[in-house]
Amino acid sequence: MSRLDTKYWVVDKKDEKLTTNPQIQEAALWINKNEVVAFPTETVYGLGANALSDEAIAKIYEAKGRPSDNPLIVHIAKESQLQSLVKSIPESAEKLMAAFWPGPLTIIFESNSTVSSKVTAGLSTVAIRMPDHPVALALIEAAGVPVAAPSANLSGKPSPTNAEHVLHDLQGRIAGIVDGGPTGVGVESTVIDCTSTPAIILRPGGITREEIEAVIGPVAVDKALTEKGQAPKSPGMKYTHYAPKAPLVIVLGSNTFMQNLIDKERQSGKKVGVLATEESKQRYKADVIVACGYREDLKTVARDLYDSLRAFDKEMVDIIFSEGFPRTGLGEAIMNRLEKAAGGHIIKE
Ligand code: TXA
Ligand code: MG
């Protein structure tokens, strides 16, 4: 692809008149010209384009190097935009929207085919979310169209949680970047399919299963998330993802067990990285130790996860060992992302 002059707009997310902010206006203009613009959401940076235009959506897949059978999430700024994109709104979705929108929950609806068929990768359903970020909402509103956006990383890399990550992956490949500071949640939205009863969680994310069940009662979880060899219902879940350059191994066991693994690799001349937490970082001896938040507050682990994975690329380590996390609450999303990044490589004591 030809190299683009990527524009860079810095906006203050606390600005009270964001919709009329000249930087947002300019970024929106590029979306209206069917170009691709990266922007912050509360989860990760998104790579946005006009969801109604085949031409615009083709540019997202090209910029990311994303397989075209992996559908995109459509971002809206107002609930009134939803009616024009879907066949119907199930009761479970009504309740979830009331509880969690704007926020890190993506809901799958029956599509009425208004969005480009490239957005849905030919499926009859469409994924929609309303992000909880003033810059995202202002941009979508200023553009006046629903905005399809995957995470703004090169396909396979960790998702971007600040504008620098986006620049690193996509400078020269997209029309512009709106820098609204670091994102907060750090892992992507939860994807839930409300076209079946009970609703099915296809991807764990920023809203936990426990939070969802408190609103709509028991939900199902896509078997591919818990059993090996099952084809995922969410096409994106079948790819290796979020991966740093060096191989990553999740270690479930004691500090001593982990230290033995580290020592073996170092003895064979390898530069070894460890992904630990603030509580545990002092317990290891390795070449590079990255503390990813506080284990006792999984929100901080989710927030820092992708930045920590990207840090190992800069340090040029040969192998990375990561601690594991409990699979409840936000831990489900954290372990899901770590497992993808590790290509499923887990060592148990
Ligand atoms: O937090 C997020 O969700 C971020 C920000 C930018 O909003 N976006 C994001 O997009 O994570 P992406 O493209 O990286 O992941 C979208 C996921 C993929 O796993 C995809 O397969 C799934 O949503 N998906 C999209 N449309 C779908 C559909 N109609 N049915 C099933 N899964 C769908
Ligand atoms: Mg992604």
pLDDT per residue as tens digits for the range 313-324: 999 999 999 999
Distance 13 CA to ligand 2 centre (A): 23
User: pTM, whole model, 2 decimals?
Assistant: 0.96
Q: Ligand 1: which of 87, 187, 188, 207 to mutate, judged by most atoms within 8 Å of the beta carbon? A: 188
Residue 236 has pLDDT above 80, yes or no: no
**Cα angle for residues 181, 182, 188 (degrees, 5° grid):** 130
Query: Which ligand 1 atom is the nearest neighbour of the CA of 66?
Result: 13
pLDDT per residue as tens digits for the range 190-209: 999 999 999 999 999 999 99
SS (H, E, C) the chain: CCCCCCEEEECCCCCCCHHHCHHHHHHHHHHHCCCCEEECCCCCCEEEEECCCHHHHHHHHHHHCCCCCCCCEEECCCCHHHHCCECCCCHHHHHHHHHHCCCCEEEEEEECCCCCCCCCCCCCEEEEECCCCHHHHHHHHHHCCCEECCECCCCCCCCCCCHHHHHHHHCCCCCEEEECCCCCCCCCCEEEECCCCCCEEEECCCCCHHHHHHHHCCCEECHHHCCCCCCCCCHHHHCCCCCCCCCEEEEECCHHHHHHHHHHHHHCCCCEEEEECCCCHHHCCCCEEEECCECCEHHHHHHHHHHHHHHHHHHCCCEEEEECCCCCCCHHHHHHHHHHHCCCCEEEC
Whether the CB of 41 sits within 6 Å of ligand 1: yes
Whether the CB of 46 sits within 6 Å of ligand 1: yes
Whether the CB of 44 sits within 6 Å of ligand 1: yes
The per-residue pLDDT for 238 is: 62
Whether the CB of 236 sits within 6 Å of ligand 1: yes
Ligand with the closest atom to the CA of 46 = 1
Ligand with the closest atom to the CA of 71 = 1
Which protein residue's CA is at the shortest distance from atom 10 of ligand 1?
150
Whether the CB of 148 sits within 6 Å of ligand 1: no
Whether the CB of 192 sits within 6 Å of ligand 1: no
Burial grade of 211 (CB within 10 A; 0-12, 13-18, 19 or more): middle
Whether the CB of 108 sits within 6 Å of ligand 1: yes
Residue 240 has pLDDT above 70, yes or no: no
Ligand with the closest atom to the CA of 73 = 1
- Mean pLDDT across 255-276: 97
Residue 239 has pLDDT above 70, yes or no: no
Tokens of 23: 């930087």
Question: How far is CA 146 from its chain centroid?
Answer: 19
Whether the CB of 237 sits within 6 Å of ligand 1: yes
Given a contact cutoff of 8 angstroms between Cβ atoms, the answer to whether 202 and 237 are in contact is yes
Tokens of 18: 């964001």
Question: How many residues are given for the chain?
Answer: 349
Whether the CB of 347 sits within 6 Å of ligand 1: no
The per-residue pLDDT for 31 is: 98
Q: Ligand 1: which of 75, 120, 234 to mutate, judged by most atoms within 8 Å of the beta carbon? A: 234
Whether the CB of 161 sits within 6 Å of ligand 1: no
Whether the CB of 71 sits within 6 Å of ligand 1: yes
- Model confidence at 69, pLDDT cuts 50, 70, 90, reads confident
The per-residue pLDDT for 2 is: 81
Which residues are within 5 Å of ligand 2 (an ion), measured at CB? Answer: 151
Tokens of 199: 């609703």
- Mean pLDDT across 163-171: 97
Which residues, other chains included, contact 297 with Cβ-Cβ below 8 Å and sequence gap of 6+?
A: none
Distance 67 CA to ligand 1 centre (A): 13
Which residues, other chains included, contact 280 with Cβ-Cβ below 8 Å and sequence gap of 6+?
A: 255, 295, 323
Query: Which ligand 1 atom is the nearest neighbour of the CA of 126?
Result: 29
- Whose CA is closest to 131, among 183, 89, 176, 199? 183
